[in-house]
Amino acid sequence: MKELIIGVEEKLRAKEHKLTPRRELVLRVLMENSDKHLSAEEVYNLVKVKEPEVGLATVYRTLELFVNFDIINGIDFGDGRKRYEFGAGDDEHHHHHLICIKCGDIIEVDEDLLDALEERVTRDYGFSIVDHELKIFGHCKKCSGE
Amino acid sequence: MKELIIGVEEKLRAKEHKLTPRRELVLRVLMENSDKHLSAEEVYNLVKVKEPEVGLATVYRTLELFVNFDIINGIDFGDGRKRYEFGAGDDEHHHHHLICIKCGDIIEVDEDLLDALEERVTRDYGFSIVDHELKIFGHCKKCSGE
DNA sequence: TTAATTGCAAATGGTTTGCAATATT
DNA sequence: AATATTGCAAACCATTTGCAATTAA
Protein backbone atom coordinates (compact mmCIF):
# COMPACT_ATOMS: atom_id res chain seq x y z
CA MET A 1 0.00 0.00 0.00
CA LYS A 2 2.33 2.62 1.35
CA GLU A 3 4.96 1.70 -1.19
CA LEU A 4 2.57 2.06 -4.05
CA ILE A 5 1.61 5.53 -2.90
CA ILE A 6 5.22 6.53 -2.61
CA GLY A 7 5.89 5.02 -6.02
CA VAL A 8 3.11 7.10 -7.54
CA GLU A 9 4.36 10.18 -5.78
CA GLU A 10 7.79 9.74 -7.24
CA LYS A 11 6.39 9.02 -10.66
CA LEU A 12 4.48 12.28 -10.54
CA ARG A 13 7.29 14.31 -9.04
CA ALA A 14 9.65 13.11 -11.75
CA LYS A 15 7.63 15.20 -14.18
CA GLU A 16 6.94 18.11 -11.86
CA HIS A 17 3.54 17.08 -10.67
CA LYS A 18 2.52 16.41 -7.15
CA LEU A 19 0.44 13.99 -5.23
CA THR A 20 -1.89 16.39 -3.49
CA PRO A 21 -4.13 15.25 -0.64
CA ARG A 22 -7.06 15.08 -3.04
CA ARG A 23 -5.16 13.00 -5.53
CA GLU A 24 -3.93 10.69 -2.83
CA LEU A 25 -7.53 10.20 -1.78
CA VAL A 26 -8.45 9.13 -5.29
CA LEU A 27 -5.46 6.83 -5.37
CA ARG A 28 -6.46 5.23 -2.08
CA VAL A 29 -9.98 4.59 -3.29
CA LEU A 30 -8.59 2.95 -6.40
CA MET A 31 -6.25 0.85 -4.32
CA GLU A 32 -8.92 -0.23 -1.90
CA ASN A 33 -11.03 -1.35 -4.84
CA SER A 34 -8.38 -2.75 -7.11
CA ASP A 35 -10.49 -5.85 -7.55
CA LYS A 36 -13.25 -3.78 -9.14
CA HIS A 37 -13.42 -1.60 -12.19
CA LEU A 38 -14.76 1.68 -10.87
CA SER A 39 -16.22 4.43 -13.00
CA ALA A 40 -15.37 8.06 -12.39
CA GLU A 41 -18.62 8.61 -10.57
CA GLU A 42 -18.12 5.56 -8.39
CA VAL A 43 -14.68 6.83 -7.46
CA TYR A 44 -16.23 10.20 -6.73
CA ASN A 45 -18.83 8.73 -4.40
CA LEU A 46 -16.23 6.73 -2.52
CA VAL A 47 -13.93 9.72 -2.25
CA LYS A 48 -16.77 11.79 -0.89
CA VAL A 49 -17.21 9.38 1.99
CA LYS A 50 -13.71 10.25 3.12
CA GLU A 51 -13.83 13.91 2.17
CA PRO A 52 -17.18 15.40 1.14
CA GLU A 53 -15.63 18.61 -0.15
CA VAL A 54 -14.05 17.02 -3.20
CA GLY A 55 -15.54 17.98 -6.54
CA LEU A 56 -16.39 15.66 -9.39
CA ALA A 57 -14.19 17.61 -11.79
CA THR A 58 -11.19 16.98 -9.57
CA VAL A 59 -11.84 13.27 -9.69
CA TYR A 60 -12.05 13.37 -13.48
CA ARG A 61 -8.88 15.44 -13.69
CA THR A 62 -7.05 13.16 -11.31
CA LEU A 63 -8.07 10.04 -13.19
CA GLU A 64 -6.91 11.63 -16.42
CA LEU A 65 -3.61 12.51 -14.78
CA PHE A 66 -3.14 8.96 -13.52
CA VAL A 67 -3.93 7.58 -16.96
CA ASN A 68 -1.36 9.90 -18.52
CA PHE A 69 1.21 8.72 -16.01
CA ASP A 70 0.42 5.09 -16.73
CA ILE A 71 -0.66 4.50 -13.18
CA ILE A 72 -4.09 3.34 -14.22
CA ASN A 73 -5.79 2.81 -17.51
CA GLY A 74 -9.31 3.39 -18.67
CA ILE A 75 -11.37 0.72 -20.34
CA ASP A 76 -14.76 0.73 -21.91
CA PHE A 77 -16.95 -2.23 -21.10
CA GLY A 78 -19.76 -0.95 -23.22
CA ASP A 79 -21.93 0.41 -20.43
CA GLY A 80 -21.49 4.00 -21.49
CA ARG A 81 -18.85 5.09 -19.05
CA LYS A 82 -15.14 4.67 -18.73
CA ARG A 83 -13.89 2.38 -16.00
CA TYR A 84 -10.47 2.31 -14.44
CA GLU A 85 -8.00 -0.31 -13.34
CA PHE A 86 -4.39 -0.34 -12.33
CA GLY A 87 -2.31 -0.71 -15.44
CA ALA A 88 0.09 -3.44 -16.15
CA GLY A 89 2.90 -0.96 -15.65
CA ASP A 90 5.89 -0.65 -17.91
CA ASP A 91 6.37 -4.34 -18.37
CA GLU A 92 3.79 -4.51 -21.14
CA HIS A 93 1.96 -7.33 -19.51
CA HIS A 94 -1.56 -7.28 -20.84
CA HIS A 95 -4.57 -8.97 -19.43
CA HIS A 96 -8.03 -9.59 -20.74
CA HIS A 97 -11.57 -9.39 -19.50
CA LEU A 98 -14.42 -11.84 -19.46
CA ILE A 99 -17.64 -9.90 -19.16
CA CYS A 100 -20.72 -11.75 -17.97
CA ILE A 101 -23.70 -10.45 -19.90
CA LYS A 102 -26.05 -11.72 -17.23
CA CYS A 103 -24.68 -10.51 -13.91
CA GLY A 104 -22.22 -7.95 -15.25
CA ASP A 105 -19.33 -9.49 -13.43
CA ILE A 106 -15.90 -8.91 -14.89
CA ILE A 107 -13.32 -11.65 -14.64
CA GLU A 108 -9.72 -10.87 -15.31
CA VAL A 109 -7.60 -13.23 -17.31
CA ASP A 110 -4.07 -12.50 -16.38
CA GLU A 111 -2.19 -14.52 -18.87
CA ASP A 112 -1.57 -12.94 -22.19
CA LEU A 113 -2.95 -15.47 -24.58
CA LEU A 114 -2.42 -13.51 -27.72
CA ASP A 115 1.24 -13.94 -28.46
CA ALA A 116 0.78 -16.28 -31.37
CA LEU A 117 -1.93 -14.10 -32.80
CA GLU A 118 0.17 -10.97 -32.50
CA GLU A 119 3.03 -12.57 -34.31
CA ARG A 120 0.75 -13.37 -37.18
CA VAL A 121 -0.69 -9.90 -37.36
CA THR A 122 2.77 -8.42 -37.35
CA ARG A 123 3.98 -10.77 -40.04
CA ASP A 124 0.95 -10.90 -42.32
CA TYR A 125 -0.25 -7.32 -42.06
CA GLY A 126 2.97 -5.38 -41.46
CA PHE A 127 1.25 -3.91 -38.42
CA SER A 128 3.43 -3.00 -35.47
CA ILE A 129 1.42 -3.54 -32.33
CA VAL A 130 1.43 -1.06 -29.49
CA ASP A 131 -1.46 -2.36 -27.45
CA HIS A 132 -4.46 -4.56 -27.63
CA GLU A 133 -7.77 -5.00 -25.95
CA LEU A 134 -9.73 -8.21 -25.77
CA LYS A 135 -13.19 -8.44 -24.32
CA ILE A 136 -15.01 -11.73 -24.19
CA PHE A 137 -18.73 -11.62 -23.57
CA GLY A 138 -20.67 -14.58 -22.31
CA HIS A 139 -21.95 -16.24 -19.18
CA CYS A 140 -19.78 -16.78 -16.16
CA LYS A 141 -19.65 -20.07 -14.33
CA LYS A 142 -22.28 -18.93 -11.83
CA CYS A 143 -24.72 -17.69 -14.44
CA SER A 144 -24.43 -20.56 -16.89
CA GLY A 145 -25.25 -23.08 -14.20
CA GLU A 146 -29.01 -22.62 -14.10
CA MET B 1 -26.93 -5.29 -53.66
CA LYS B 2 -30.57 -5.80 -54.50
CA GLU B 3 -30.62 -9.17 -52.81
CA LEU B 4 -29.23 -7.74 -49.61
CA ILE B 5 -31.94 -5.11 -49.53
CA ILE B 6 -34.61 -7.72 -50.10
CA GLY B 7 -33.04 -9.88 -47.44
CA VAL B 8 -33.19 -7.05 -44.95
CA GLU B 9 -36.74 -6.29 -45.90
CA GLU B 10 -37.77 -9.85 -45.22
CA LYS B 11 -35.86 -9.91 -41.99
CA LEU B 12 -37.74 -6.85 -40.82
CA ARG B 13 -41.10 -7.96 -42.11
CA ALA B 14 -40.73 -11.26 -40.30
CA LYS B 15 -41.10 -9.31 -37.06
CA GLU B 16 -43.68 -6.82 -38.28
CA HIS B 17 -41.37 -4.01 -39.16
CA LYS B 18 -40.94 -2.43 -42.52
CA LEU B 19 -38.18 -1.15 -44.69
CA THR B 20 -39.42 2.38 -45.26
CA PRO B 21 -37.84 4.61 -47.90
CA ARG B 22 -35.86 6.38 -45.19
CA ARG B 23 -34.58 3.14 -43.76
CA GLU B 24 -33.66 1.87 -47.18
CA LEU B 25 -31.68 5.05 -47.72
CA VAL B 26 -29.70 4.38 -44.56
CA LEU B 27 -29.17 0.81 -45.67
CA ARG B 28 -27.91 1.92 -49.06
CA VAL B 29 -25.43 4.32 -47.53
CA LEU B 30 -24.14 1.54 -45.30
CA MET B 31 -23.85 -0.80 -48.26
CA GLU B 32 -22.06 1.73 -50.42
CA ASN B 33 -19.57 2.23 -47.62
CA SER B 34 -19.25 -1.28 -46.33
CA ASP B 35 -15.47 -0.92 -46.47
CA LYS B 36 -15.62 1.89 -43.91
CA HIS B 37 -16.89 2.11 -40.37
CA LEU B 38 -19.27 5.02 -40.45
CA SER B 39 -20.53 6.85 -37.39
CA ALA B 40 -24.18 7.86 -37.05
CA GLU B 41 -23.37 11.39 -38.06
CA GLU B 42 -21.40 10.26 -41.09
CA VAL B 43 -24.32 8.12 -42.17
CA TYR B 44 -26.59 11.10 -41.61
CA ASN B 45 -24.48 13.37 -43.80
CA LEU B 46 -24.37 10.82 -46.59
CA VAL B 47 -28.08 10.20 -46.36
CA LYS B 48 -28.72 13.92 -46.56
CA VAL B 49 -26.95 14.08 -49.89
CA LYS B 50 -29.59 11.76 -51.30
CA GLU B 51 -32.50 13.16 -49.32
CA PRO B 52 -31.97 16.37 -47.35
CA GLU B 53 -35.24 16.05 -45.45
CA VAL B 54 -34.08 13.16 -43.30
CA GLY B 55 -33.60 13.92 -39.62
CA LEU B 56 -30.70 12.84 -37.48
CA ALA B 57 -33.01 11.07 -35.02
CA THR B 58 -34.33 8.88 -37.80
CA VAL B 59 -30.81 7.82 -38.65
CA TYR B 60 -30.12 6.95 -35.03
CA ARG B 61 -33.39 5.06 -34.75
CA THR B 62 -32.74 3.20 -37.95
CA LEU B 63 -29.24 2.21 -36.92
CA GLU B 64 -30.59 0.98 -33.60
CA LEU B 65 -33.24 -1.02 -35.44
CA PHE B 66 -30.67 -2.58 -37.74
CA VAL B 67 -28.48 -3.47 -34.78
CA ASN B 68 -31.43 -5.13 -33.05
CA PHE B 69 -32.12 -7.12 -36.17
CA ASP B 70 -28.50 -8.21 -36.43
CA ILE B 71 -28.12 -6.54 -39.77
CA ILE B 72 -25.27 -4.38 -38.57
CA ASN B 73 -23.39 -4.07 -35.35
CA GLY B 74 -21.97 -1.13 -33.49
CA ILE B 75 -18.39 -0.97 -32.34
CA ASP B 76 -16.49 1.51 -30.30
CA PHE B 77 -13.03 2.35 -31.56
CA GLY B 78 -12.39 4.73 -28.73
CA ASP B 79 -12.99 7.94 -30.63
CA GLY B 80 -16.08 8.80 -28.65
CA ARG B 81 -18.76 7.68 -31.05
CA LYS B 82 -20.23 4.40 -32.10
CA ARG B 83 -19.36 3.13 -35.53
CA TYR B 84 -21.25 0.60 -37.59
CA GLU B 85 -20.39 -2.32 -39.82
CA PHE B 86 -22.30 -5.15 -41.37
CA GLY B 87 -22.41 -7.98 -38.92
CA ALA B 88 -21.03 -11.39 -39.46
CA GLY B 89 -24.58 -12.65 -39.75
CA ASP B 90 -25.84 -15.74 -38.09
CA ASP B 91 -22.83 -17.85 -38.85
CA GLU B 92 -20.96 -16.53 -35.84
CA HIS B 93 -17.94 -15.67 -37.87
CA HIS B 94 -16.04 -13.02 -35.96
CA HIS B 95 -13.44 -10.70 -37.26
CA HIS B 96 -11.03 -8.33 -35.60
CA HIS B 97 -9.76 -4.83 -36.08
CA LEU B 98 -6.32 -3.35 -36.33
CA ILE B 99 -6.54 0.32 -35.46
CA CYS B 100 -3.73 2.59 -36.56
CA ILE B 101 -3.13 5.14 -33.84
CA LYS B 102 -1.40 7.44 -36.29
CA CYS B 103 -3.68 7.69 -39.31
CA GLY B 104 -6.80 6.21 -37.75
CA ASP B 105 -7.13 3.61 -40.43
CA ILE B 106 -8.97 0.46 -39.51
CA ILE B 107 -7.85 -2.82 -41.00
CA GLU B 108 -10.10 -5.83 -40.76
CA VAL B 109 -8.69 -9.20 -39.95
CA ASP B 110 -11.13 -11.69 -41.24
CA GLU B 111 -9.78 -14.87 -39.83
CA ASP B 112 -10.83 -15.72 -36.38
CA LEU B 113 -7.57 -16.24 -34.61
CA LEU B 114 -8.94 -16.82 -31.19
CA ASP B 115 -10.12 -20.40 -31.27
CA ALA B 116 -7.35 -21.77 -29.12
CA LEU B 117 -7.75 -18.96 -26.65
CA GLU B 118 -11.48 -19.43 -26.41
CA GLU B 119 -11.09 -23.08 -25.68
CA ARG B 120 -8.82 -22.26 -22.82
CA VAL B 121 -11.16 -19.67 -21.39
CA THR B 122 -14.04 -22.08 -21.59
CA ARG B 123 -12.07 -24.84 -19.96
CA ASP B 124 -10.14 -22.91 -17.30
CA TYR B 125 -12.76 -20.37 -16.29
CA GLY B 126 -16.02 -22.20 -16.89
CA PHE B 127 -17.06 -19.26 -19.00
CA SER B 128 -19.39 -19.91 -21.90
CA ILE B 129 -18.56 -17.47 -24.66
CA VAL B 130 -21.22 -15.64 -26.60
CA ASP B 131 -19.14 -13.06 -28.38
CA HIS B 132 -15.79 -11.40 -28.31
CA GLU B 133 -14.18 -8.22 -29.42
CA LEU B 134 -10.52 -7.79 -30.17
CA LYS B 135 -8.97 -4.47 -30.98
CA ILE B 136 -5.29 -4.18 -31.74
CA PHE B 137 -3.77 -0.73 -31.61
CA GLY B 138 -0.51 0.13 -33.31
CA HIS B 139 0.97 1.47 -36.51
CA CYS B 140 -0.13 0.26 -39.90
CA LYS B 141 2.33 -0.64 -42.60
CA LYS B 142 2.14 2.83 -44.14
CA CYS B 143 2.65 4.66 -40.88
CA SER B 144 5.44 2.54 -39.47
CA GLY B 145 7.54 2.99 -42.58
CA GLU B 146 8.91 6.45 -41.90
C1' DT C 1 4.34 35.98 -5.89
C1' DT C 2 4.03 32.92 -9.49
C1' DA C 3 2.24 28.72 -10.87
C1' DA C 4 -0.61 24.68 -9.89
C1' DT C 5 -4.85 22.86 -7.95
C1' DT C 6 -9.57 22.90 -6.93
C1' DG C 7 -14.92 23.53 -6.73
C1' DC C 8 -18.60 25.18 -8.99
C1' DA C 9 -21.43 25.89 -12.68
C1' DA C 10 -21.82 26.07 -17.38
C1' DA C 11 -20.60 24.06 -21.75
C1' DT C 12 -19.86 20.05 -24.79
C1' DG C 13 -21.01 16.37 -27.79
C1' DG C 14 -22.95 12.03 -28.98
C1' DT C 15 -27.20 10.01 -28.37
C1' DT C 16 -32.14 9.60 -26.88
C1' DT C 17 -36.83 11.06 -26.28
C1' DG C 18 -41.50 13.66 -26.19
C1' DC C 19 -44.59 15.18 -29.19
C1' DA C 20 -47.20 16.69 -32.91
C1' DA C 21 -47.44 15.94 -37.89
C1' DT C 22 -47.34 12.53 -41.54
C1' DA C 23 -47.69 8.17 -43.65
C1' DT C 24 -49.05 3.34 -43.66
C1' DT C 25 -52.38 -0.69 -43.00
C1' DA D 1 -59.54 4.76 -37.71
C1' DA D 2 -55.53 2.63 -35.43
C1' DT D 3 -50.67 2.12 -35.62
C1' DA D 4 -46.05 3.05 -37.05
C1' DT D 5 -42.74 6.42 -38.68
C1' DT D 6 -40.66 10.77 -38.86
C1' DG D 7 -38.59 15.69 -37.94
C1' DC D 8 -37.80 18.92 -34.67
C1' DA D 9 -36.34 20.60 -30.53
C1' DA D 10 -35.50 19.63 -26.00
C1' DA D 11 -33.61 16.41 -22.77
C1' DC D 12 -29.90 13.32 -21.28
C1' DC D 13 -25.67 12.03 -19.36
C1' DA D 14 -20.78 11.25 -19.06
C1' DT D 15 -17.16 14.21 -19.44
C1' DT D 16 -14.68 18.68 -20.08
C1' DT D 17 -13.77 23.45 -19.37
C1' DG D 18 -13.75 28.55 -17.87
C1' DC D 19 -13.05 30.97 -14.05
C1' DA D 20 -12.37 32.79 -9.66
C1' DA D 21 -10.79 31.27 -5.18
C1' DT D 22 -7.40 28.53 -2.71
C1' DT D 23 -3.09 26.29 -1.98
C1' DA D 24 1.69 25.24 -2.62
C1' DA D 25 6.56 26.14 -4.08
- What residues in chain B have per-residue pLDDT under 50? none
At residue A97, φ and ψ (nearest 5 deg) are: -130, 130
CATH code, domain carrying B101: 3.30.1490.190
Do residues B54 and B114 share a domain? no
pTM, entire model: 0.87
Helices and strands, number each (H, E), in chain B: 6, 6
Write down which residues 33-92 in A have CB closer than 7 A to strand D.
39-41, 56-57, 60-61, 64, 80-82
Residue whose C-alpha is closest to residue B107's, from B140, B72, B133: B140
B114 and chain A: CB distance < 8 Å anywhere? Answer: yes
Domain with residue A31: its CATH number is 1.10.10.10
Q: Give start and end residues of each alpha helix (H) in chain A.
A: 2-13, 21-32, 40-50, 56-68, 115-125, 141-144
The pLDDT assigned to B26 comes to 97
Q: Give per-residue pLDDT as tens, A43-68.
A: 999 999 999 999 999 999 999 999 99
Q: Are A135 and A96 in contact (CB under 8 A)?
A: yes
Domain co-membership, A5 together with A77: yes
Coil, helix or strand for B139?
strand
Point out the domain boundary residue: B76, B92, B108: B92
Residue of A98, A112, A136 to mutate for B, most B C-beta atoms under 10 A: A136
The pLDDT of residue A89 is 56
* Cβ pair A109, A66 in contact under 8 A: no
What region does A133 belong to: left with phi over 0, alpha with psi -120 to 50, or beta?
A: beta
How far is it, in rounded angstroms, from Cα A29 to Cα A51? 11
A13: left (phi over 0), alpha (psi -120 to 50) or beta: alpha
Q: Which residue is nearest to nucleotide D16 (CA to C1')?
A: A57
Domain boundary among A92, A109, A133: A92
**Residues A99 and A135: beta-carbon distance below 8 Å:** yes
Query: What residue ranges of chain A have pLDDT lower than 70?
Result: 88-93, 146
Output the DSSP codes for B74-137.
EEE-SSSSEEEEE--GGG----EEEEETTT--EEEE-S---HHHHHHHHHHH--EEEEEEEEEE
Is the domain of A101 the same as that of A33?
Answer: no
Is the C-beta atom of B57 closer than 7 angstroms to strand D?
yes
Q: Do A135 and B132 touch (CB under 8 A)?
A: yes
Give, to the nearest 10 degrees, the angle between helix A40-50 and helix A56-68.
Answer: 120
User: What is the secondary structure of B120-133 as a DSSP string?
Assistant: HHHHHH--EEEEEE
Question: Quick one: A84 and A97 in the same domain?
Answer: no
B141 and B72 share a domain?
no
CA A97 centroid distance within chain: 11
Same domain, B6 and B65: yes
B76 - beta bridge partners? B82
Asked if B118 lies within 8 A of A136 by C-beta distance, the reply is: yes
Phi-psi region of B66 (alpha: psi -120 to 50; beta: other; left: phi over 0): alpha
A to B CB pairs, distance under 8 Å = 105
Nucleotides of C under 7 A from a protein CB: 4-9, 13-18, 24-25
Same domain, B55 and B127: no
Q: Establish how many alpha carbons lie within 13 A of residue A21's alpha carbon, considering only the half-sphere containing its beta carbon.
A: 4
Number of domains in chain B: 2
Give the Cβ contact number of residue B138 at 10 Å: 21
Instruction: For residues A67 and A22, state if they share a domain.
Output: yes
Residues A46 and A101 in one domain: no
From CA B43, how far away is CA A88, in angstroms rounded?
A: 38
Q: Which domain holds residue B20?
A: 1-92
**Which nucleotide C1' is nearest B55 CA?**
D7
Enumerate residues 74 to 103 of chain A having a beta carbon within 8 A of any beta carbon in chain B: 76, 78, 98, 100-101
Domain boundary among A69, A92, A115: A92
* B134 touches A at CB < 8 Å: yes
Same domain, residue pair B13 and B46: yes
Which nucleotide's C1' atom has the smallest distance to the CA of A74? D15
Do B81 and B97 lie in one domain? The reply is no
Amino acid B93: pLDDT: 57
H or E element, residue A140: none
Cβ contact B20 with chain D strand, < 7 A: yes
